[in-house]
Structure 1
Amino acid sequence: MLLILLGLLLWSGVHFWKRIAPDHRARFGNKGKAIVAIGSVVAIVLMTIGYRAAEGTFFWGRSPMLTGINNLLMLFAFYHFAASGAKTRITKWVRNPQLTAVKIWALSHLLVNGDTPSFLLFGGLFAWALAEVIVLNRVAPPAPYHAVPVKKEITALIATVVVFSITAAIHIWLGYNPFG
Protein backbone atom coordinates (compact mmCIF):
# COMPACT_ATOMS: atom_id res chain seq x y z
CA MET A 1 0.00 0.00 0.00
CA LEU A 2 3.07 2.20 0.23
CA LEU A 3 3.09 2.57 -3.58
CA ILE A 4 -0.55 3.71 -3.52
CA LEU A 5 0.33 6.32 -0.91
CA LEU A 6 3.40 7.51 -2.83
CA GLY A 7 1.31 7.75 -6.01
CA LEU A 8 -1.37 9.75 -4.19
CA LEU A 9 1.23 12.12 -2.75
CA LEU A 10 2.88 12.64 -6.15
CA TRP A 11 -0.51 13.11 -7.85
CA SER A 12 -1.60 15.65 -5.25
CA GLY A 13 1.74 17.45 -5.32
CA VAL A 14 1.89 18.02 -9.06
CA HIS A 15 -1.77 19.06 -9.19
CA PHE A 16 -1.60 21.44 -6.21
CA TRP A 17 1.68 22.99 -7.41
CA LYS A 18 -0.05 25.61 -9.57
CA ARG A 19 -2.47 26.58 -6.80
CA ILE A 20 -0.12 26.56 -3.82
CA ALA A 21 2.99 28.00 -5.48
CA PRO A 22 1.77 29.80 -8.63
CA ASP A 23 4.89 31.97 -8.99
CA HIS A 24 7.20 28.96 -8.73
CA ARG A 25 5.08 27.02 -11.25
CA ALA A 26 4.96 30.03 -13.62
CA ARG A 27 8.77 30.22 -13.72
CA PHE A 28 8.83 26.85 -15.46
CA GLY A 29 6.53 28.01 -18.28
CA ASN A 30 5.63 25.20 -20.67
CA LYS A 31 8.19 22.90 -19.03
CA GLY A 32 5.95 23.03 -15.97
CA LYS A 33 3.18 21.38 -17.98
CA ALA A 34 5.57 18.57 -18.89
CA ILE A 35 6.54 18.15 -15.23
CA VAL A 36 2.88 17.89 -14.25
CA ALA A 37 2.16 15.44 -17.08
CA ILE A 38 5.15 13.21 -16.29
CA GLY A 39 4.43 13.38 -12.57
CA SER A 40 0.80 12.44 -13.22
CA VAL A 41 1.75 9.43 -15.34
CA VAL A 42 4.29 8.23 -12.76
CA ALA A 43 1.67 8.71 -10.01
CA ILE A 44 -0.89 6.65 -11.96
CA VAL A 45 1.67 3.89 -12.52
CA LEU A 46 2.57 3.86 -8.81
CA MET A 47 -1.08 3.78 -7.75
CA THR A 48 -1.94 1.04 -10.27
CA ILE A 49 1.00 -1.21 -9.36
CA GLY A 50 0.41 -0.56 -5.67
CA TYR A 51 -3.30 -1.29 -5.90
CA ARG A 52 -2.83 -4.51 -7.84
CA ALA A 53 -0.23 -5.75 -5.32
CA ALA A 54 -1.92 -4.53 -2.14
CA GLU A 55 -3.58 -6.79 0.35
CA GLY A 56 -5.89 -5.66 3.07
CA THR A 57 -8.96 -6.26 5.11
CA PHE A 58 -12.08 -7.02 3.09
CA PHE A 59 -15.34 -5.50 4.33
CA TRP A 60 -17.77 -5.85 1.41
CA GLY A 61 -17.77 -6.78 -2.25
CA ARG A 62 -19.81 -6.40 -5.37
CA SER A 63 -23.46 -7.20 -5.54
CA PRO A 64 -25.77 -6.86 -8.54
CA MET A 65 -27.39 -3.77 -7.00
CA LEU A 66 -24.09 -2.04 -6.18
CA THR A 67 -22.71 -2.94 -9.61
CA GLY A 68 -25.70 -1.31 -11.30
CA ILE A 69 -25.38 1.82 -9.15
CA ASN A 70 -21.64 1.91 -9.85
CA ASN A 71 -22.22 1.76 -13.62
CA LEU A 72 -24.86 4.48 -13.50
CA LEU A 73 -22.56 6.71 -11.44
CA MET A 74 -19.74 6.05 -13.89
CA LEU A 75 -21.93 7.33 -16.72
CA PHE A 76 -22.49 10.51 -14.69
CA ALA A 77 -18.75 10.77 -14.00
CA PHE A 78 -17.85 10.44 -17.68
CA TYR A 79 -20.54 12.96 -18.60
CA HIS A 80 -19.19 15.50 -16.11
CA PHE A 81 -15.71 15.04 -17.52
CA ALA A 82 -16.94 15.47 -21.10
CA ALA A 83 -19.07 18.44 -20.04
CA SER A 84 -16.03 20.28 -18.73
CA GLY A 85 -14.37 20.18 -22.14
CA ALA A 86 -17.52 21.04 -24.07
CA LYS A 87 -18.71 23.59 -21.48
CA THR A 88 -22.20 22.10 -21.64
CA ARG A 89 -25.23 23.31 -19.73
CA ILE A 90 -24.31 21.43 -16.55
CA THR A 91 -21.33 23.77 -16.10
CA LYS A 92 -23.88 26.44 -15.21
CA TRP A 93 -24.49 24.60 -11.92
CA VAL A 94 -21.32 22.55 -11.45
CA ARG A 95 -18.30 24.82 -11.20
CA ASN A 96 -15.61 22.11 -11.42
CA PRO A 97 -17.06 19.27 -13.52
CA GLN A 98 -13.74 17.41 -13.91
CA LEU A 99 -13.19 17.32 -10.17
CA THR A 100 -16.84 16.41 -9.66
CA ALA A 101 -16.25 13.54 -12.09
CA VAL A 102 -13.29 12.34 -10.00
CA LYS A 103 -15.40 12.46 -6.83
CA ILE A 104 -18.24 10.51 -8.48
CA TRP A 105 -15.73 8.01 -9.91
CA ALA A 106 -14.09 7.49 -6.52
CA LEU A 107 -17.37 7.04 -4.64
CA SER A 108 -18.74 4.65 -7.25
CA HIS A 109 -15.62 2.51 -7.01
CA LEU A 110 -15.86 2.46 -3.21
CA LEU A 111 -19.38 1.05 -3.54
CA VAL A 112 -18.08 -2.11 -5.20
CA ASN A 113 -14.60 -2.33 -3.65
CA GLY A 114 -14.89 -2.53 0.13
CA ASP A 115 -11.30 -3.31 1.09
CA THR A 116 -8.54 -1.25 2.68
CA PRO A 117 -6.45 -0.78 -0.50
CA SER A 118 -9.59 0.62 -2.18
CA PHE A 119 -10.26 2.88 0.80
CA LEU A 120 -6.75 4.29 0.41
CA LEU A 121 -6.79 4.65 -3.38
CA PHE A 122 -10.33 5.78 -4.09
CA GLY A 123 -10.79 7.55 -0.76
CA GLY A 124 -7.45 9.32 -1.27
CA LEU A 125 -8.39 10.51 -4.76
CA PHE A 126 -11.79 11.64 -3.47
CA ALA A 127 -10.05 13.62 -0.70
CA TRP A 128 -7.65 15.15 -3.25
CA ALA A 129 -10.53 16.22 -5.53
CA LEU A 130 -12.44 17.69 -2.61
CA ALA A 131 -9.37 19.61 -1.39
CA GLU A 132 -8.70 20.83 -4.94
CA VAL A 133 -12.25 22.20 -5.19
CA ILE A 134 -11.81 24.02 -1.87
CA VAL A 135 -8.50 25.54 -2.99
CA LEU A 136 -9.91 26.52 -6.40
CA ASN A 137 -12.92 28.16 -4.81
CA ARG A 138 -10.60 30.28 -2.66
CA VAL A 139 -8.11 31.36 -5.33
CA ALA A 140 -10.13 31.62 -8.54
CA PRO A 141 -13.43 33.37 -9.14
CA PRO A 142 -16.04 31.36 -11.02
CA ALA A 143 -16.01 31.81 -14.76
CA PRO A 144 -19.21 33.20 -16.22
CA TYR A 145 -21.49 30.70 -17.91
CA HIS A 146 -22.15 31.10 -21.61
CA ALA A 147 -24.94 29.18 -23.30
CA VAL A 148 -23.70 26.59 -25.77
CA PRO A 149 -25.31 25.08 -28.85
CA VAL A 150 -27.22 21.81 -28.50
CA LYS A 151 -24.51 20.23 -30.68
CA LYS A 152 -22.09 20.45 -27.76
CA GLU A 153 -24.57 18.69 -25.48
CA ILE A 154 -24.95 15.89 -28.00
CA THR A 155 -21.19 15.66 -28.47
CA ALA A 156 -20.71 15.33 -24.69
CA LEU A 157 -23.36 12.59 -24.51
CA ILE A 158 -21.78 10.66 -27.38
CA ALA A 159 -18.33 11.05 -25.84
CA THR A 160 -19.73 9.76 -22.54
CA VAL A 161 -21.10 6.59 -24.13
CA VAL A 162 -17.95 5.98 -26.21
CA VAL A 163 -15.54 6.47 -23.30
CA PHE A 164 -17.74 4.41 -20.97
CA SER A 165 -17.77 1.58 -23.53
CA ILE A 166 -14.00 1.71 -24.03
CA THR A 167 -13.41 1.78 -20.29
CA ALA A 168 -15.75 -1.18 -19.78
CA ALA A 169 -13.93 -3.10 -22.53
CA ILE A 170 -10.57 -2.40 -20.90
CA HIS A 171 -11.91 -3.55 -17.52
CA ILE A 172 -13.19 -6.77 -19.13
CA TRP A 173 -9.86 -7.29 -20.92
CA LEU A 174 -8.06 -6.91 -17.56
CA GLY A 175 -10.41 -9.45 -15.99
CA TYR A 176 -12.75 -7.11 -14.09
CA ASN A 177 -16.18 -7.36 -15.67
CA PRO A 178 -18.00 -4.14 -14.69
CA PHE A 179 -21.38 -5.65 -15.58
CA GLY A 180 -21.40 -8.78 -13.48
Structure 2
Amino acid sequence: MTLLVAGIIVFIATHLLRPFAPDLRARAIASLGKSGFMAVHGIVSLLSLVMMAYGFVLARENGGSVLYQPPVFMGHITLTLMLISSVCLVAAFLPAGYIRTKLKFPALAAIKLWAFSHLLANGESYSVLLFGAMLAWAVILRITLKKRIASGEATLPVFVSVTYDLIAIVLGVALYGVIVLKLHEWLIGVAPLVM
Protein backbone atom coordinates (compact mmCIF):
# COMPACT_ATOMS: atom_id res chain seq x y z
CA MET A 1 0.00 0.00 0.00
CA THR A 2 3.10 2.21 0.07
CA LEU A 3 2.75 3.29 -3.57
CA LEU A 4 -0.92 4.16 -3.03
CA VAL A 5 -0.11 6.30 0.02
CA ALA A 6 2.77 8.01 -1.80
CA GLY A 7 0.53 8.78 -4.78
CA ILE A 8 -2.15 10.26 -2.51
CA ILE A 9 0.40 12.42 -0.68
CA VAL A 10 1.97 13.72 -3.91
CA PHE A 11 -1.43 14.45 -5.48
CA ILE A 12 -2.82 16.28 -2.44
CA ALA A 13 0.40 18.20 -1.81
CA THR A 14 0.62 19.48 -5.39
CA HIS A 15 -3.06 20.43 -5.45
CA LEU A 16 -3.05 22.33 -2.17
CA LEU A 17 0.00 24.49 -2.94
CA ARG A 18 -2.04 27.58 -3.80
CA PRO A 19 -4.09 27.78 -0.58
CA PHE A 20 -1.51 26.43 1.88
CA ALA A 21 1.91 27.25 0.39
CA PRO A 22 1.41 30.32 -1.82
CA ASP A 23 4.99 31.52 -1.29
CA LEU A 24 6.43 28.19 -2.44
CA ARG A 25 4.15 28.24 -5.48
CA ALA A 26 5.13 31.84 -6.27
CA ARG A 27 8.84 30.98 -6.03
CA ALA A 28 8.35 27.99 -8.33
CA ILE A 29 6.54 30.18 -10.89
CA ALA A 30 9.26 32.83 -10.65
CA SER A 31 11.91 30.16 -11.20
CA LEU A 32 10.22 28.11 -13.93
CA GLY A 33 7.90 30.68 -15.47
CA LYS A 34 4.11 30.23 -15.51
CA SER A 35 4.10 27.77 -18.42
CA GLY A 36 7.05 25.83 -16.99
CA PHE A 37 5.35 25.59 -13.61
CA MET A 38 2.10 24.44 -15.22
CA ALA A 39 3.99 21.80 -17.22
CA VAL A 40 5.79 20.47 -14.13
CA HIS A 41 2.56 20.59 -12.12
CA GLY A 42 0.74 18.67 -14.85
CA ILE A 43 3.46 16.01 -15.09
CA VAL A 44 3.60 15.55 -11.31
CA SER A 45 -0.22 15.39 -11.17
CA LEU A 46 -0.32 12.75 -13.88
CA LEU A 47 2.44 10.78 -12.18
CA SER A 48 0.57 10.90 -8.87
CA LEU A 49 -2.60 9.63 -10.56
CA VAL A 50 -0.65 6.73 -12.10
CA MET A 51 0.90 5.99 -8.69
CA MET A 52 -2.54 5.97 -7.05
CA ALA A 53 -4.14 3.77 -9.73
CA TYR A 54 -1.27 1.27 -9.82
CA GLY A 55 -0.87 1.40 -6.04
CA PHE A 56 -4.59 0.70 -5.65
CA VAL A 57 -4.38 -2.32 -7.95
CA LEU A 58 -1.34 -3.65 -6.06
CA ALA A 59 -3.04 -3.09 -2.71
CA ARG A 60 -6.14 -4.92 -3.92
CA GLU A 61 -4.02 -7.84 -5.19
CA ASN A 62 -2.18 -8.08 -1.86
CA GLY A 63 -5.43 -7.93 0.07
CA GLY A 64 -6.39 -5.60 2.85
CA SER A 65 -8.52 -5.65 5.91
CA VAL A 66 -12.27 -5.24 5.41
CA LEU A 67 -13.42 -2.30 7.51
CA TYR A 68 -17.09 -2.70 6.60
CA GLN A 69 -19.17 -4.86 4.27
CA PRO A 70 -21.54 -2.69 2.19
CA PRO A 71 -24.90 -4.20 1.21
CA VAL A 72 -25.28 -5.12 -2.46
CA PHE A 73 -27.74 -2.30 -3.20
CA MET A 74 -24.99 0.25 -2.48
CA GLY A 75 -23.45 -0.76 -5.80
CA HIS A 76 -26.59 0.45 -7.56
CA ILE A 77 -26.43 3.76 -5.72
CA THR A 78 -22.77 4.08 -6.72
CA LEU A 79 -23.61 3.53 -10.39
CA THR A 80 -26.33 6.18 -10.24
CA LEU A 81 -24.10 8.72 -8.49
CA MET A 82 -21.33 8.06 -11.01
CA LEU A 83 -23.69 9.01 -13.85
CA ILE A 84 -24.28 12.37 -12.16
CA SER A 85 -20.54 12.69 -11.48
CA SER A 86 -19.75 12.13 -15.17
CA VAL A 87 -22.13 14.91 -16.23
CA CYS A 88 -20.62 17.27 -13.62
CA LEU A 89 -17.11 16.47 -14.83
CA VAL A 90 -17.95 17.26 -18.45
CA ALA A 91 -19.77 20.46 -17.41
CA ALA A 92 -16.55 21.65 -15.73
CA PHE A 93 -14.80 21.83 -19.11
CA LEU A 94 -17.55 23.63 -21.02
CA PRO A 95 -18.67 27.26 -20.99
CA ALA A 96 -21.18 27.84 -18.22
CA GLY A 97 -24.69 26.51 -18.41
CA TYR A 98 -26.98 26.08 -15.40
CA ILE A 99 -25.05 23.04 -14.16
CA ARG A 100 -21.75 24.89 -13.98
CA THR A 101 -23.17 28.11 -12.55
CA LYS A 102 -25.22 26.34 -9.86
CA LEU A 103 -22.42 23.96 -8.80
CA LYS A 104 -19.77 26.72 -9.09
CA PHE A 105 -17.00 24.10 -9.18
CA PRO A 106 -18.46 21.10 -11.02
CA ALA A 107 -15.12 19.25 -11.24
CA LEU A 108 -14.92 19.24 -7.44
CA ALA A 109 -18.56 18.15 -7.24
CA ALA A 110 -17.70 15.29 -9.61
CA ILE A 111 -14.73 14.24 -7.48
CA LYS A 112 -16.76 14.40 -4.26
CA LEU A 113 -19.54 12.29 -5.81
CA TRP A 114 -16.97 9.82 -7.20
CA ALA A 115 -15.23 9.43 -3.85
CA PHE A 116 -18.41 9.29 -1.75
CA SER A 117 -20.14 6.82 -4.05
CA HIS A 118 -17.11 4.53 -4.01
CA LEU A 119 -17.00 4.66 -0.20
CA LEU A 120 -20.60 3.42 -0.23
CA ALA A 121 -19.67 0.36 -2.28
CA ASN A 122 -16.17 -0.49 -1.02
CA GLY A 123 -15.19 -1.23 2.56
CA GLU A 124 -11.62 -2.51 2.14
CA SER A 125 -8.87 -0.54 3.89
CA TYR A 126 -7.17 0.52 0.64
CA SER A 127 -10.49 1.69 -0.82
CA VAL A 128 -11.37 3.69 2.28
CA LEU A 129 -7.88 5.21 2.25
CA LEU A 130 -8.05 6.30 -1.41
CA PHE A 131 -11.65 7.47 -1.59
CA GLY A 132 -11.66 8.97 1.91
CA ALA A 133 -8.49 10.95 1.18
CA MET A 134 -9.83 12.22 -2.16
CA LEU A 135 -13.16 13.20 -0.58
CA ALA A 136 -11.38 15.07 2.22
CA TRP A 137 -9.10 16.82 -0.30
CA ALA A 138 -12.05 17.92 -2.44
CA VAL A 139 -13.91 19.27 0.59
CA ILE A 140 -10.82 21.19 1.79
CA LEU A 141 -10.20 22.59 -1.69
CA ARG A 142 -13.84 23.69 -1.98
CA ILE A 143 -13.56 25.56 1.34
CA THR A 144 -10.37 27.30 0.22
CA LEU A 145 -11.97 28.25 -3.11
CA LYS A 146 -14.90 29.77 -1.25
CA LYS A 147 -12.43 31.95 0.67
CA ARG A 148 -10.62 32.91 -2.57
CA ILE A 149 -13.94 34.00 -4.09
CA ALA A 150 -14.77 36.07 -1.00
CA SER A 151 -11.39 37.80 -1.24
CA GLY A 152 -11.81 38.45 -4.98
CA GLU A 153 -8.88 36.18 -5.88
CA ALA A 154 -11.17 33.81 -7.85
CA THR A 155 -14.38 34.37 -9.77
CA LEU A 156 -17.48 32.30 -10.31
CA PRO A 157 -18.60 31.12 -13.75
CA VAL A 158 -21.15 33.31 -15.53
CA PHE A 159 -24.09 31.68 -17.30
CA VAL A 160 -23.70 31.55 -21.10
CA SER A 161 -26.30 29.12 -22.49
CA VAL A 162 -28.43 26.12 -21.60
CA THR A 163 -26.97 24.49 -24.71
CA TYR A 164 -23.87 23.67 -22.68
CA ASP A 165 -26.03 21.81 -20.16
CA LEU A 166 -27.41 19.64 -22.95
CA ILE A 167 -23.90 19.01 -24.27
CA ALA A 168 -22.71 18.16 -20.75
CA ILE A 169 -25.54 15.67 -20.31
CA VAL A 170 -24.97 13.97 -23.68
CA LEU A 171 -21.18 13.80 -23.32
CA GLY A 172 -21.47 12.89 -19.62
CA VAL A 173 -23.72 9.94 -20.42
CA ALA A 174 -21.29 8.87 -23.17
CA LEU A 175 -18.33 9.15 -20.77
CA TYR A 176 -20.25 7.17 -18.16
CA GLY A 177 -20.98 4.47 -20.73
CA VAL A 178 -17.31 4.19 -21.71
CA ILE A 179 -16.23 4.01 -18.06
CA VAL A 180 -18.83 1.45 -17.02
CA LEU A 181 -18.60 -0.75 -20.09
CA LYS A 182 -14.82 -0.83 -20.58
CA LEU A 183 -12.54 1.82 -19.09
CA HIS A 184 -13.03 0.96 -15.39
CA GLU A 185 -12.24 -2.70 -16.00
CA TRP A 186 -9.26 -1.82 -18.21
CA LEU A 187 -7.74 0.64 -15.72
CA ILE A 188 -8.71 -0.90 -12.38
CA GLY A 189 -9.38 -4.53 -13.27
CA VAL A 190 -12.96 -4.54 -11.93
CA ALA A 191 -16.06 -4.46 -14.11
CA PRO A 192 -18.72 -2.20 -12.49
CA LEU A 193 -21.45 -4.18 -14.26
CA VAL A 194 -21.56 -7.93 -14.13
CA MET A 195 -23.02 -9.01 -17.48
Question: TM-score over 0.5 for the alignment?
Answer: yes
CA distance in structure 1 between the aligned counterparts of 2:157 and 2:111, rounded to whole angstroms = 22
Q: 1:175 to 1:8 in 2, by over 3 A?
A: closer
| Residue of 177, 184, 187 corresponding to 1:171 | 184
Are the equivalent residues in 2 in contact too, given 1:62–1:113 (CA < 8 A)?
Answer: no
Q: Are 1:26 and 2:29 an aligned pair?
A: yes
Q: Is the Cα contact below 8 Å between 1:67 and 1:179 reproduced in 2? A: no
Q: How many residues align?
A: 179
The one-letter code of the counterpart of 1:90 is I
Residues 16-67 of structure 1: CA distance to partner in whole angstroms, max 9, x if unpaired? 223332422432310111111111111112111211121321121561x212
The secondary structure found in structure 2 opposite 1:178 is coil
Distance, in Å, in 1 between the alignment partners of 2:2 and 2:40 is: 22
Within 1, Cα distance between the matches of 2:76 and 2:26? 45
CA contact (8 A) 1:77 1:104 kept: yes
Any unmatched runs of 5+ in structure 2?
none
Instruction: Note if 1:159 corresponds to 2:171.
Output: yes
Render the CA deviation track for 1:69-100: whole Å, top value 9, x for unaligned. Answer: 11110011111111122222022321211111
TM-score of the superposed pair, with normalisation by structure 2: 0.83
2:162 maps to which of 144, 150, 162: 150
- 1:66-105 equivalences under 5 Å are 66-86=74-94, 87-105=96-114
2:147 aligned residue: 138
Alignment RMSD (CA, Å): 1.9
Q: Match of 1:114, SS?
A: coil
Q: SS in structure 1 opposite 2:193?
A: coil
Q: Secondary structure at the match of 2:103?
A: coil
* Equivalences for residues 34-49 of structure 1 within 5 A: 34-49=39-54
Closer, same or farther: CA 136–147 of 1 in aligned 2, 3 Å: closer
- The percentage of counterpart residues that share the same residue type is 27
Long gaps (5+) in structure 1: none
| Native 8 Å contact 1:18 1:25 kept in 2 | no
Bigger shift: residues 142-151 or 22-31: 142-151
Provide runs of 4+ in structure 1 moved above 4 Å. none
* Residues 17, 25 of structure 1: 8 Å contact kept: no
TM-score, normalised with respect to structure 1: 0.89
